[in-house]
């Protein structure tokens, strides 16, 4: 992957998958804006990789437009956007709902992807195209019992990516998602001992998969990442087509890949 002269923006870039991805993008030649509410962490990662830090709460609708503007002002353009910030709910989401916690996970896991893509599109068009990768999860492809809220947000990210991608492909903007299994990061630190000998991904594993998606991903693809397997696009099944032969021609039903 050669990103010499290119500019990337990474949310949640102060630690875990985000920090590993910043390192990989910088090693490929990109100048990276590291966006995170942890200002000290973002500053440290940026200093280590020759980029710049942008402290922000990604749930704020104004934060990502400001980050995109900062990337263009500092580096002159924007080519790659990794919408990676994420959190867990810490509750089942079924009984005894903590509404503030619910709003927080939706804000971080879903709203920020919507805000980020919306903010990035004009800048990517000015560049002549680019790539956007959203960090979803295997919980965006299959249900994760015990964390219905996390599952709901990641399913929403997958659906948003798949629906938004065809709209932007004509502008040379490729929107994809990466869907890792369990990753040994701070998000699972509180329950790490429950995994025992279960194989876990590392942040570097996911960052490497993100690099592959940036090189080879097609619009709307959602790539699974699992230990011991090569990352690849997930194969979605199509829905049954309507029986009504007189349906409007603009409504197209087909098998999704």
Q: How many CB atoms lie within 10 A of CB 83?
A: 29
pLDDT computed for residue 92 by the predictor: 85
- How many Cα atoms sit within 13 Å of 182 on the Cβ side? 14
Active site residue 234: no
Contact in structure between 234 and 224 (CB atoms under 8 Å): yes
Q: What is the DSSP string of 220-243?
A: T-EEEE-TTS--EE--PPPPPPPS
Contact in structure between 12 and 63 (CB atoms under 8 Å): no
What structural domains does the chain harbor? 7-233 (3.40.50.720)
Q: Report the predicted TM-score, pTM, of the whole model to 2 decimal places.
A: 0.91
As given in the structure block, the two tokens for residue 174 are 């490729």
Contact in structure between 109 and 86 (CB atoms under 8 Å): yes
- Regions of the chain short of the pLDDT cut 50: 255-257
What is the rounded distance in angstroms from the CA atom of residue 234 to the CA atom of residue 77? 31
What is the rounded distance in angstroms from the CA atom of residue 108 to the CA atom of residue 187? 13
State the Cα torsion 19-21-24-25 to the nearest 10°.
-110
Q: How many CB atoms lie within 10 A of CB 250?
A: 5
What is the rounded distance in angstroms from the CA atom of residue 220 to the CA atom of residue 257? 10
**Residue 44 vs residues 18, 22, 78, 155, 252: alpha-carbon distances, Å:** 13, 12, 22, 32, 49
pLDDT computed for residue 256 by the predictor: 47
């Amino acid at each position: 992957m050669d990103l010499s002269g290119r500019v990337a923006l990474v949310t949640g870039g102060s630690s875990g998958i985000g920090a590993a991805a910043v390192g990989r993008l910088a090693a490929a030649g990109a100048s990276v804006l590291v966006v995170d509410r942890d200002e000290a962490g973002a500053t440290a990662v940026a200093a280590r990789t020759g980029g710049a830090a942008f402290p922000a709460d990604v749930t704020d609708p104004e934060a990502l437009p400001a980050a995109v503007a900062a990337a263009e002002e500092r580096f002159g353009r924007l080519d790659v956007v990794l919408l990676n910030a994420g959190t867990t709910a810490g509750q089942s989401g079924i009984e005894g709902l903590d509404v503030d916690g619910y709003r927080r996970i939706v804000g971080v896991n879903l709203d920020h992807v919507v805000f980020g893509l919306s903010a990035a599109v004009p800048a990517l068009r000015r560049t002549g195209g680019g790539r956007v990768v959203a960090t979803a999860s295997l919980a965006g492809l299959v249900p994760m019992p015990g964390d219905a809220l996390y599952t709901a947000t990641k399913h929403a990210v997958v659906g948003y990516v798949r629906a938004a991608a065809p709209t932007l492909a004509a502008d040379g903007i490729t929107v994809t998602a990466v869907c890792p299994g369990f990753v040994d990061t701070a998000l699972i630190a509180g329950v790490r001992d429950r995994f025992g000998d279960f194989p876990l991904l590392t942040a570097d594993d996911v960052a490497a998969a993100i690099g592959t998606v940036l090189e080879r991903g097609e619009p709307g693809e959602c790539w699974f990442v699992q230990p011991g397997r090569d990352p690849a696009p997930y194969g979605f099944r199509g829905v049954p087509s309507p029986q009504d032969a007189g349906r409007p021609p603009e409504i197209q039903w087909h098998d999704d890949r």
